Each structure stands twice: as C-alpha cells, then as structure tokens.
Structure 1
C-alpha cells in the first residue's frame, strides 16, 4: 500500500520539526517545504538524530510571498499541514510585513490543496486569534480577537486575519476539501536540533543567563510543543475534526513568572521572578519594538475552553513543568557544545 503523503510547510521551525518527527514515526511520507533547499541537510540530520526514519522525507522550495511551486508541491498529497507563518515578538516597522505573508501564504496553501484534490488542510493558527483582545474570562473556538482593537499586536492580528481568510475561502468553494485549524496557546518545550532562536527557547536561554530581570504581568494557557505536534497529527486524521477550530493548550492560565519559579525550584540560579510594572513596559514600548509587542497583553489573565479538544482526541496535556525543564535541559546541552 502506498504511503500517504503530507505536504508540511514550515518544517524547519520549532513546531514544524516536532510535527515532522511524529508524522514520520506514524509512517507518513513527509514533503517538507523550505524557503531555501540548502537547509534540507540540516533538517535531515536533526530528524535523524531524533530517531526519525528520514527515508520517507523529501523537500520542496516554497515561499509564502510567491505563487511559484505551490501546485506541484501539493500534487499527489493526501494532506497539507500549513505551519509556516512569519513570526516576530517585536513589532515590525509596518504591520503588512507580517500580515500579507500570513494571509497570502494560507490562501496559497488552500488553493494548491484544492487544485491537487487534497483531503484535508490543517492550518496552524494561534490561541491569539481567540484571546488577543480579552483581559479576563474564558476563550474558546467560537471567539475571535478584534482586529480593529488598539490593543492587538501585529502577530496576533496577522494570525487572526490569516485564519479568517482561510475559513472565508472554505465558505466560497464547493470541493470536498476539509479544513481544521489548530490554535496553540504559549508553546514551550525542547527544540529538536541546535536552533534555539525561537521565542520560547530564547526566553529560557535568556532566563538561565540572568538576562531577563523582570517579566510582563501576563497569564495565559500554555502547552508543550510535543503536545502541539500530537494534536496536529490527530487533527489531520480524525474524521470528526473537519471544520473545527482546535484549542491546543492547557485550560488554566500560567503566569509568565511560573517559568522562572519552576527553573529556580530545580536548581537553576539565573532566573528572576520579578514582575515588571505595566507603566515601565509602556514607557519602554515608546522606543523598544519588543516591549511594544507586549503592551496589548499587559494584565491579561484568561482561561481556555479546551473541552472539544479533550473530547475529540486521545490527549491529555503534559505538566507545564515538564515543558519548561525539558526546554532548559535542551538549552543547556546546546549552549555547552
């Protein structure tokens, strides 16, 4: 029997690598998209070191901002897993730098999937599309962030507009194509490979070095990256997942200061548990784009309604402490090489 083929965009990223490993472990052929094929060997080596069978791994060059290659990338695929999306904690000079590639990339993936007769697209969205303009309460699959709010950051706005564009695309087409979106909360856990430039790994690295003296007053639901990958794979194959927005996070909020607390309890000396005054962060935001990116989230303390996820899938969230400690171990191993 022929292997089922999954086009996986964004394979080189923090979440993408974990999804690739789980797909390969389950016997799928993974066609990974990267912006430059020169990265292929690094990705192969990373997955091989993680004990994945890379004989079922191939690569194709794609760019979110170009039409080139999308139809041939999806040709012969059973599923498309669209994980690639521009991300930066810092606010860009102009919001379109992040919004246009996010929206256009999602639509390119869906058009290519439809043209190729793909069964289902799984789109990596974000819990931000549901909670970015809430300060308290519980968010769930029926909620949308207000993209006109002055409080919404560019990343959250880009993810919201990209997901909305995807659902609007589905409403207008009459093929058998199915869509599921996976909406993770704050994602922590160990990176596969030596790249710790992603947001959560950088945060852990900086904490361990004592370079984050204070943290923003923000509490939101979190999730382990390995759980995010697991949910993506289940969302791809579960018959009842079609048409769903899947909340991928623990239900209870985790304050950012919980991360250094967990690290300190396990003997790490560098982390600080101090909370930055909101006024200080608002002042810093005047000349620091990273602080500016956090301003809209100040004072947020929200829960997630993940009941649909728990009901649909064979999944129970890992303890958040496991995600933090495994990330710290990975950072320590990489920085000591």
Structure 2
C-alpha cells in the first residue's frame, strides 16, 4: 500500500484530504505541530472512514529540520498542505511569510532526499492575481505581484511560497527528479470535519447567518468546496498529465458575497444582510480594520479563473456553489 505524508493534517483541508486518501486505498501519515491533537483527529477521521491501521501521525515544525527526514522515509508521496494563515494583518508580515516559504522548501528538500516521487502543494488563487488592483482573467500563467500596492501578508506568503516551490523544481539536480503539482483554490467553503468552528469560512458564514455582517465587500471570484479540493489533491498524486502544472480547483464561474448571502437568505436564514458596502467606504474602513485591510486590493474587482484544464485532466465537475454554501451553513448551525 502506498503511503502519503499529509502536512497540516489537522486543518480544514488536511482532514478532508486524509479521509479522501484512506477512502482511496492509501495509507496516511499526518503531520501536526503537537502530537497531543492526534486522538481528536483520529476520532474525526473515524466518523468518515475506518483507518484499519493505515493512519499514523508525526510532529513537524515548518521552521525546524527536526523530524522531516524520518517522516519522509517510508512515504511515496507528499501532500504539503500546512501553511500559516491569519485572518487579519500581522504587525510583522514575516510572521507568516517566513514559515510559508521555509516550510515549502523543507517539504521539497526532504521529499527529494527521501526518494519521494511527487509532492502536491496547496497554494491559492491569490497567487494568481496580478497586481490585484483590477479585474482579471486567471490562468495557469498568471501570477500575483507580491510587491504591488496594498498587498496583504497572506497573499505575499502564498505567492512567494509557490514561486519558491517552482524554483526548487526547476533548479534541482540529479537523476531522480522530484515531481510537483500545485493546487490553487479560491475561497474555501463546505463542512468541517472537526468539532470546532475554526477557520475564516466557518466564521464568515456564522456572522452572516447571525446578522453580524451588515455589509458585504464587492468582490467576485471563483469559489471552492473543501471536498473538491481534497479530491483533486488525491487525484493529482498519480495522474501522469498533472505533473508540472497548476490547477485551479473552483467553480466554473465567479460568485460574489452578495450572491452567497442571497442563497443563505432564500433558504431560511432571515438575519442575513445582502447589502454591499460602497467600495470607497470599505477601502476607507480598511485603514482602521485589520480584517478589511487584507481585502483592500480586491474590493470592487472580479477574478475569473479558467478551470477547464482541471475538469479535463481529472474528469471532474465542481460541486455547485449553492450546495457548498448551504452545507457550510448546516455545519455551522450544528456546531453553534
């Protein structure tokens, strides 16, 4: 049985990926920052699939070498999902940029040294936004300019980490070349497998259905379902056509937060506001609100990604946006 190291297995995407791997006949080794989490993670996974002895855990830190070589030794593939995330802007952007880049480099270096065949890296559509100051059609060759005005630390971290991964692949030496596939999701929705309302998606939906979000940002973008993301990560492990490519895993069309609010409201969530805030007001408010500050470059724009290559390569069709949002809301209500 082939074994896959999943970094960041305790996260929103990581848990779904572990379940999808086990369902598809892979053994899973999940990395966590602290092994004290493993009992609750095992319980969460067992609700979805029986591991049958094919689930184990290891402790890894994105900023330290300890444990990485041992973790890789018996693995055939790696899903590098672990990456720092903060909803609001940190005082020092390197708090998330440094571990994002260094963690990616460690994953690739130790994977190559251990003879791993392929790494599937979780990036983001925010690494494909150009200068992020105007609407843009997104494809495999579009990149975010990390030096553009008002660029958030999170966007920089995802962009620079992915760029560092491709640089590593292009400059690697030796006969046994490590393969790389990159997954670029948009904003991620769908049910969590943990018993906690952690993560930006869960909190946004919670605030919307409770009426605590009076105004919505005017942004349109292809949206993603966490179940689709997990599925494509697993499909990308052994698909020969996928090597060396970036794949947007999201809806075929972009959606706005207003459309999301309308879906929630029309399905019995009466407290949801569908009011879009004026662009100038939201940009002004971003000077004083750290949550809005990260959104500033994107306000008023549409980012429309071409997902046809992903659909064709993996014979895949995205989960409908309505299902993603309603399933998220149902999950949030069950955990409130």
Q: What is the TM-score of this pair, normalised by structure 1?
A: 0.96
CA distance in 2, matches of 1:282, 1:329: 32
CA distance in 1, matches of 2:119, 2:149: 32
Give the total of aligned pairs. 333
The verdict on how the C-alpha distance between 1:183 and 1:226 changes in structure 2, with shifts beyond 3 A counting, is same
> SS where residue 6 of structure 1 aligns?
strand
Aligned to 1:176: 177
Aligned to 2:148: 149
The verdict on how the C-alpha distance between 1:54 and 1:151 changes in structure 2, with shifts beyond 3 A counting, is farther
254-263 or 50-59, which deviates more: 50-59
Say whether 1:226 aligns with 2:224. Answer: no
Say whether 1:188 aligns with 2:186. Answer: no
The verdict on how the C-alpha distance between 1:54 and 1:256 changes in structure 2, with shifts beyond 3 A counting, is farther
| C-alpha contact (below 8 Å) 1:132/1:156 kept by paired residues | no
What is the CA deviation profile of residues 166-214 of structure 1, one whole-angstrom value per residue up to 9, with x for unaligned ones? 0101111133210010000111111112122111111111111111111
Aligned to 1:20: 18
CA distance in 2, matches of 1:132, 1:294: 15
CA distance in 2, matches of 1:40, 1:59: 7
| C-alpha contact (below 8 Å) 1:210/1:271 kept by paired residues | yes
Aligned to 1:62: 60
Aligned with 2:70 (options 72, 96, 100): 72
CA distance in 1, matches of 2:121, 2:231: 14
Aligned to 1:86: 84
Unaligned 5+ residue runs, structure 2?
Answer: none
Q: Tell me how far 1:132 sits from its aligned partner.
A: 5.7
| C-alpha contact (below 8 Å) 1:221/1:252 kept by paired residues | yes
| C-alpha contact (below 8 Å) 2:252/2:318 kept by paired residues | no
Aligned to 2:317: 316
Query: 1:27-176, aligned counterparts within 5 Å?
Result: 27-53=25-51, 55-131=53-129, 133-134=131-132, 135-174=134-173, 175-176=176-177
CA distance in 2, matches of 1:55, 1:211: 44
CA distance in 1, matches of 2:81, 2:113: 19
Question: RMSD across aligned C-alpha pairs, in angstroms?
Answer: 1.1
Q: Tell me how far 1:314 sits from its aligned partner.
A: 2.0
CA distance in 2, matches of 1:160, 1:236: 22
> SS where residue 88 of structure 1 aligns?
coil
Q: What is the TM-score of this pair, normalised by structure 2?
A: 0.97
What is the CA deviation profile of residues 143-186 of structure 1, one whole-angstrom value per residue up to 9, with x for unaligned ones? 10111101322111100000000010111113321001000011
> SS where residue 17 of structure 1 aligns?
helix
